[in-house]
């Protein structure tokens, strides 16, 4: 049982990293949204599995929150936003897919080294899970850095947050309140960004955040 539970947790965390890479690879908005939904779904499964293994019922709630909000509500809403903005064909990246993936590999390697070194005496399950979680966070950040489109940046931000939740559930005994507040803060951030998106769109007729820089006169 010990071996199997480790293997499944490990595989779920690993697939989360894999899906982060898929996000990095995908530059079409619809597909990106679907992959994000998959990301959230895997997160929910991972959290649920942790709840089962650790016998911590409050984690089930976290899993449900992840499933409902992140895998269903937010992607659907973003989907609608994209339709209303009419930007579903826009593909804009700052760095090409190849270099971005290479950078991502480097980040995963970095996360591995740091985590495995720091937590030398912790138990192996937590160690690798933490390393994977840090990788997901870093990949989310990378995604935010390498994309121009505001929607992809939002998705990068939310997948970063998924990484945080993964780390939190891996470490035993994180209080429920914190999670719920995190979830809601994300929701609020999402709403704010959504409004923000519409505003940029109205003003500049694009959601390319470079337009903001141009407006501020930073890039010519």
Partner 1 sequence: MAVIREFVFQGAEMLLVLLLSPLLTGFVRKMKARLLQRQGPPLLQPYRDLIRLMRKEVVLADGASWLFRVNPYIIFAGTWVAASLVPTFRSGLLFSWSADLIAIIALLGSARFFLALAGLDVGTSFGGIGSSREVMIASLAEPAMLMIMFTLALIAGSTQLSTMAAFMLSSEVGLRVSLGLALLALIMVAIAENARIPIDNPATHLELTMVHEAMVLEYSGRHLALIDLTSELKLLLYVSVIGCVFTPWGIAAPDSSPLALAVGFASYVGKLAVGGMLLALFETAIAKMRVFRVPAFLGAALMLGLLGTLLLFVSRSL
Partner 2 sequence: MMVVYALYGVAALLVLAPLAIALGRSPRGSAVIYGASLIVTLTLGMIALLNLFEYSGRVSVVSLPLGLPWLGAHFRIDALAAFFLVVVNLGGAAASLFALGYGQHEDSPQRVLPFYPAYLAAMNLVVMADDAFSFLVSWEFMSLTSWALVIAHHRIKENLQAGYVYLLMASFGTLALLLAFGLLAGSDGNYAFDAIRATHANGGLAALVLILVLIGAGSKAGVVPLHAWLPLAHPAAPSHVSALMSGVMTKVAVYGFVRIVFDLLGPPDWWWSMVVLGVGGITAVMGVLYALMQHDLKRLLAYHTVENIGIIYIGLGLALAFKAHNMPLAAALALTAGLLHVFNHSVFKSLLFFGAGSVLNATGERDMEHLGGLIHRMPQTAFVFLVGCVAISALPPLNGFVSEWLTFQAILLSPQLPSWGLKFLVPAVGALLALSAALAAACFVKAFGVTFLGRASTPAAQAAKETDTNSLAAMFFLAALCLVAGILPGFFIDALAPVTRSLVGISMPHQAGVEWLSIVPIAESRSSYNGLLVFIFIVFSGTLAASAIHRLASDKLRRGPAWDCGYPDPNPATQYTASSFAQPIRRVYGTSVFRAREIGEMPAPGSILPARLTVKLRDLIWDAAYAPVADGIGYASEKLNSLQFLTIRQYLSLVFAALVLLLLVLAIWP
Q: Rule CB under 8 A: is residue 142 a binding residue for partner 1?
A: no
Question: Which of 15, 20, 23, 162: binder of partner 1 (CB under 8 A)?
Answer: 15
> Hey, what are 55's tokens?
């016998």
Question: Which of 64, 83, 97, 113: binder of partner 2 (CB under 8 A)?
Answer: 113
Question: Which of 99, 122, 176, 199: binder of partner 2 (CB under 8 A)?
Answer: 99
Question: Residue 17 binds which one of partner 2, partner 1, none, with CB within 5 to 8 A depending on kind?
Answer: partner 1
Q: Rule CB under 8 A: is residue 14 a binding residue for partner 1?
A: yes
For partner 1, the closer CB: 8 or 180: 8
CA distance readout (Å), 50 to 22, 43, 150 = 24, 10, 33
Q: Rule CB under 8 A: is residue 11 a binding residue for partner 1?
A: yes
Q: Rule CB under 8 A: is residue 124 a binding residue for partner 2?
A: no
> Hey, what are 101's tokens?
């993936």
Task: Assign 3-state DSSP to the chain and report helix, strand, coil percentages, each to 5.
Answer: 80, 0, 15
> Hey, what are 197's tokens?
């998106």
Q: For residue 6, with 0-12 CB atoms within 10 Å meaning exposed, 13-18 middle and 19 or more buried, which class applies?
A: middle
Residue 42: phi, psi to the nearest 5?
-65, -40
Report the interface residues with partner 1, using CB under 8 A: 3-4, 7-8, 10-11, 13-15, 17-18, 21, 25, 96-98, 101-102, 104-105, 108-109, 112-113, 116, 124, 127-128
């Amino acid at each position: 049982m010990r071996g199997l539970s480790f293997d499944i947790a490990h595989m779920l965390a690993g697939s989360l990293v894999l899906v982060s890479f898929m996000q990095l690879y995908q530059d079409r908005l619809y597909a990106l949204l679907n992959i994000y939904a998959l990301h959230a779904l895997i997160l929910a499964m991972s959290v649920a599995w942790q709840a089962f293994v650790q016998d911590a019922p409050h984690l089930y709630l976290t899993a449900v929150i992840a499933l409902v909000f992140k895998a269903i509500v937010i992607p659907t809403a973003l989907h609608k936003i994209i339709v209303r903005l009419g930007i579903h064909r826009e593909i804009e990246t700052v760095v090409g897919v190849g270099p971005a993936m290479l950078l991502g590999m480097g980040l995963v390697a970095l996360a591995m080294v740091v985590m495995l070194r720091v937590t030398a005496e912790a138990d192996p399950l937590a160690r690798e899970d933490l390393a994977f979680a840090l990788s997901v966070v870093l990949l989310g950040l990378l995604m935010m850095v390498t994309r121009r489109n505001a929607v992809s940046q939002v998705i990068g931000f939310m997948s970063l947050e998924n990484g945080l939740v993964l780390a939190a559930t891996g470490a035993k005994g994180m209080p429920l309140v914190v999670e719920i507040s995190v979830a809601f803060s994300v929701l609020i951030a999402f709403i704010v960004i959504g409004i923000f998106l519409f505003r940029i769109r109205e003003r500049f007729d694009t959601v390319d955040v470079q337009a903001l820089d141009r407006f501020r006169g930073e890039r010519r």
